[in-house]
């Protein structure tokens, strides 16, 4: 079975610097893949390339058997790739419910039959997503009073309202408390049942809790791909990445 997302020999140069260098990876539908690697490895740039925010110098990106390499950013979003950015974009003066409704009205995916929540109405959908994002009981609160962690979960909920088939997240637990991270682990384990996820993360404790598969990037290239056990046992990975993390 081909992957839901396939990246083939991707390269990206900014001026004369090759930031992504012949990088390939594959994500199987229904799995959670963690993309890890040292600072500057090219993780965020890879997300930008997948979502069409920037275009590769060479290589190919295939999503759901369709070549999306040359497609416009909003067409890619509409085809079912959602992204949660690092910087929150919630409307602070609106309630959590209103934020989710606004996200829904910006809904970009016309493939209703791919929607996994199987809900009849918006209310039920809102409730399901609030549950998935750990926000039940918060729906009528103003978004501005949420904690940092809750704001992140609201953002995840807002992306889910757009029914992505593939969900990309860049450092979702940055700045969270221990308790918030634990709850995020539970949220991600839940999400994994209904969606395919690519999560950029450098906290290996978190990666160990959530990842089905781990992809390690180094200097714009694929260093290793495998289960967390394979990655942690890989001598090259220990040398260029994990060793440095343990020292820190």
Ligand X SMILES: Nc1ncnc2c1ncn2[C@@H]1O[C@H](COP(=O)(O)OP(=O)(O)O)[C@@H](O)[C@H]1O
By the criterion CB under 6 A, which residues form the site for ligand X? 14, 19, 37, 39-45
Determine the 3-state secondary structure of 143 from DSSP.
Answer: helix
Taking the complex as a whole, the smallest distance from the CB of residue 105 to ligand X amounts, in Å, to 31
- Identity of the residue, 54 or 119, whose beta carbon is nearer to ligand X in the bound complex: 54
Interacting partner of 40 out of ligand X, Mg ion, none (Cβ under 5 to 8 A depending on kind): ligand X
Q: What gap in Å lies between CA 34 and CA 214, rounded to an integer? A: 5
| 233 and 35 Cβ atoms separated by less than 8 Å | no
Contact predicate 75/69, CB 8 Å: no
The residue sitting closest to Mg ion, measured at its beta carbon, is 44
CB nearer to ligand X: pick between 41 and 161: 41
Contact partner, 90, from Mg ion, ligand X, none, Cβ < 5-8 Å per class: none
Taking the C-alpha atoms of residue 219 and residue 240, their distance in angstroms, rounded to an integer, is 10
- Smallest gap from Cβ 239 to ligand X, in A, equals 18
Enumerate binding residues for Mg ion (CB under 5 A): 43-44
Instruction: Provide the minimum distance between the beta carbon of 176 and ligand X in the complex, in angstroms, as a whole number.
Output: 18
Residue 137 CA from chain centroid, whole number = 25
Q: 239: helix, coil or strand?
A: helix
Question: Minimal distance in Å, beta carbon 139 to ligand X?
Answer: 33
Q: To which H or E segment does residue 196 belong?
A: strand 196-200
In terms of CB distance, is 51 or 162 closer to ligand X?
A: 51
Phi, psi of 55 (to 5 degrees): -110, 140
CA neighbor of 73 nearest in space, from 52, 94, 50: 52
Looking at beta carbons only, is 17 or 113 nearer to ligand X?
17
In the list Mg ion, ligand X, none, the entry touching 83 (Cβ below 5 to 8 angstroms by class) is: none
> CB under 5 to 8 A by kind: which of Mg ion, ligand X, none does 113 bind?
none
The residue length of the chain stands at 248
Q: Which is nearer to ligand X, 135 or 167 (CB)?
A: 167
Nearest distance, CB of residue 168 and Mg ion, angstroms: 12
Q: Which residue has the tokens 């079975």?
A: 1
């Amino acid at each position: 079975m081909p992957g839901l997302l396939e990246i083939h020999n991707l390269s990206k140069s900014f001026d004369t610097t090759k930031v992504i260098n012949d990088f390939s990876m594959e994500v199987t539908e229904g799995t959670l893949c963690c993309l890890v690697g040292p600072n500057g490895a090219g993780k965020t740039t890879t997300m930008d390339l997948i979502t069409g925010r920037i275009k590769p110098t060479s290589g190919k990106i295939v999503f759901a058997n369709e070549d999306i390499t040359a497609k416009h950013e909003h067409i890619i979003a509409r085809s079912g790739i959602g992204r949660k950015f690092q910087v929150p974009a919630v409307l602070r003066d609106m309630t959590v419910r209103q934020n989710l409704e606004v996200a829904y009205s910006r809904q970009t995916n016309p493939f209703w039959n791919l929607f996994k929540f199987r809900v009849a109405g918006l209310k039920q959908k809102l409730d399901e997503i609030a549950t998935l994002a750990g926000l039940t009981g918060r729906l009528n609160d103003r978004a501005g009073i949420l904690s940092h962690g809750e704001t992140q979960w609201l953002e995840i909920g807002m992306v889910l309202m757009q029914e992505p088939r593939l969900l990309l997240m860049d450092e979702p637990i940055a700045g969270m408390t221990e308790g918030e991270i634990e709850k995020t682990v539970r949220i991600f384990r839940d999400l994994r049942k209904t969606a395919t996820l690519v999560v950029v993360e450098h906290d290996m404790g978190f990666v160990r809790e959530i990842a089905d598969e781990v992809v390690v990037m180094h200097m714009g290239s694929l260093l290793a791909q495998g289960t967390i056990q394979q990655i942690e046992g890989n001598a090259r990975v220990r040398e260029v990445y994990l060793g440095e993390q343990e020292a820190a």
